Amino acid sequence: MKRYFLPLFLVVIVLAIVDIPLESVRDGFDDDREIGEDVFIEPLSRAPAIFEIMIIAYWLLFVPVIEYGADLLFVQAARREAINVKNIIIGFNDYVTIILTNLLAGALIGIAFIALIIPGIIVACRLAFVSYLVMDKGLDPIAAVEGSWKLTRGHGWRIFGLGVTSIFIFIGGLLLFIVGTIPAVIWIKSSFASLYQAVVDETDETLYLPPQTA
C-alpha cells in the first residue's frame, strides 16, 4: 500500500465511480423497505422497463470487466511490478471470457447459497481466485473455475479468515468519517491479491493449470 498508494487509490476511486449506479438502485431498494413496502418488490418496478434492462446490462456486461482489470493491477502491485492505471480497462481485450467467467462463478456461488449458507461460503472461498486466473494466467471460464478450486485446496480457512477480517477493516473505515473506506478497500484488495500470489508461489502450476497452458 505504501509503495503503490496513489495508483491503487486511483483504482479504487474508479471502482467507486463504476459502482455509483448500482448503489443508487440499492438506496432505492432500502428506501422502499423503510417505508414499509414489500421488500420483494423492486423499486425499479416503477421505472421504465428499458431502465431496468440497462441497469442489469450494466451490472452484468460492464462492471465485471473493470473489476477484473482492477484485480490484475492489485496482483501486479503485490509482485512489486510497475502498474499502469490505464490497464484497468484491459479486460475489454478479453471481454467475452470475463463476462462468461463472471456469470459462471456467480451462478455457482448463488446456487450454493440458495441450497445452504455454509456450502455457499465454501464455494465462494474456493472460487476466490477466479478473476486472478483469468487476468493473470489467461484461462477460459471453465479452466478458471476449475483452477481456482484446485489452487485454493487447503487454503479455504485462510481465505475465509481474510474475508471475515475484511468486514471489520471496512467497518473501521466507515467509522473514520467514511473517508477511511478508501484505504480500507485498498488494504482488502491488496490482501486478497497478495494471498493469491503467495498461494501461486507455493503451488506447482501443473496442479491447477490445464495441460495446454502449463
Share above pLDDT 90 across residues of the chain, in percent, rounded to a whole number? 74
SS (H, E, C) 92-149: HHHHHHHHHHHHHHHHHHHHHHHHCHHHHHHHHHHCCCHHHHHHHHCCCHHHHHHHHH
Structure confidence at residue 144 (pLDDT):
98
Three-state SS at 174: helix
Domain range holding 66?
A: 5-213
Structure confidence at residue 214 (pLDDT):
47
Average pLDDT of the segment spanning 200-205: 95
Structure confidence at residue 1 (pLDDT):
78
Domains in the chain: how many in total? 1
Instruction: Give the model confidence (pLDDT) of 156-186 as tens digits.
Output: 999 999 999 999 999 998 888 777 899 999 9
